[in-house]
Amino acid sequence: MEQFDVVFLGTGSPLPSPDRCGAGHVLVAGRQHVLVDCGWGAARKILAAGIFPSEIGTAIFTHMHSDHITDFPDFLFLRWTSGARTPLRVYGPEGTGEMVEGFLHALRRDIGFRLAHHGDKLHPDGILVEVTEISPTSRPEPFFQREGLVLERFEVDHFPVVPAFGYRARFDGRTAVLSGDTTFTESLLHAAEGADMLVCEALNTRMLEERIRALRAIGRDLQASLFEDIPSYHIDVADVARLAARAGVRQLVLDHLIPPVPSAGPELDRFTAGMEAAFTGPIRVARDTERIPVTGAAS
């Protein structure tokens, strides 16, 4: 059986956390390494997760929220200075090209300085990016196929962020689904049917409401009111469990945790409390730099 892993670089959300960086993953499928999102701090977790940045030849983005994109410039330089000699292939929804162009424009002087300083030690193609914007679909549709890895996108509900994608990866007879940021939606349910692993964002509404009350108690009304908007476009842990059960997934992994919780201890236990009543399979809460194999039925 060939290697097929999901490596978690950042398992947090926009809310500050000492334990969890912004969204980021690497799909490792045989020799293929695919970066999925690259939010704040995620690029600096690549080496810590045991991956050499220049191994990553493809990057895909779920949507254009800052906590999914802001470490992308750092990743480009890490990839380049660790030996990349070919352009990075990038796929994502409408706006991906503008995002990449903007970052490269901001870095243009630094790129020139590095080339002037290091000369031909750095390959000029290693900092280049080839962008393909992909259209939304309600059912999974393939957009990438290489060395047995097939990547499919499907639209999720993160309104007013339109479009926003989830992704399904198929490799060596196994399937992993990454939800992206979304509410409960039929497109995610369909994409996850029979998946060996569902990586799903997760909101614990009750714990978030506790944060809101605490903020109002100290007069932080604006922040509290912003927090009150969060449940309108994220999926609660109870709905995650029900969706996983209906889809018949083999393993459920939670990330993009709202509110942020430590990597161990009673708060983490509170975050998932009650999910096992709806979903009886394995439930894991991912940690930054953790590598989780996508195992099949016979594993």
The model's pLDDT over 221-262, given as tens digits with 9 standing for 90+, comes to 999 999 999 999 999 999 999 999 999 999 999 999 999 999
- Distance separating alpha carbons of residues 47 and 44, to the nearest angstrom: 7
pLDDT digits (tens, 9 = 90+) for 61-77: 999 999 999 999 999 99
- Distance separating alpha carbons of residues 19 and 21, to the nearest angstrom: 7
Find the mean pLDDT for residues 21-47: 97
Find the mean pLDDT for residues 265-276: 95
Q: Is 125 a catalytic residue?
A: no
Express the helix, strand and coil content of the chain in percent, nearest 5 each.
35, 25, 40
DSSP 8-state symbol, 87: P
- Distance separating alpha carbons of residues 180 and 168, to the nearest angstrom: 11
Average pLDDT over the chain, rounded to whole?
Answer: 96
Helix, coil or strand: residue 258: strand
pTM: 0.96
- pLDDT score, position 273: 96
Give the list of residues 6+ apart from residue 285 with CB closer than 8 angstroms, or none.
11, 253, 254, 255, 257, 261, 268, 271, 272
> How many Cα atoms occupy the beta-carbon half-sphere of 47 within 13 Å?
8
Please provide the distance, in angstroms rounded to a whole number, between the alpha carbons at the two ends of the chain.
10
Whether pLDDT at 263 is above 90: no
Preceding amide of 262 cis, omega within 30: no
Buried b / exposed e along 131-154 (16+ C-beta atoms within 10 A): beebebbeebeebbeeeebbbbbb
Regarding beta strands 149-155 and 165-171, do their DSSP bridges make them parallel or antiparallel, or are they unpaired?
A: antiparallel
Pick the catalytic residue: 5, 19, 37, 67?
67
pLDDT digits (tens, 9 = 90+) for 182-193: 999 999 999 999
Superfamily of domain 4-293: Ribonuclease Z/Hydroxyacylglutathione hydrolase-like (3.60.15.10)
- pLDDT score, position 298: 61
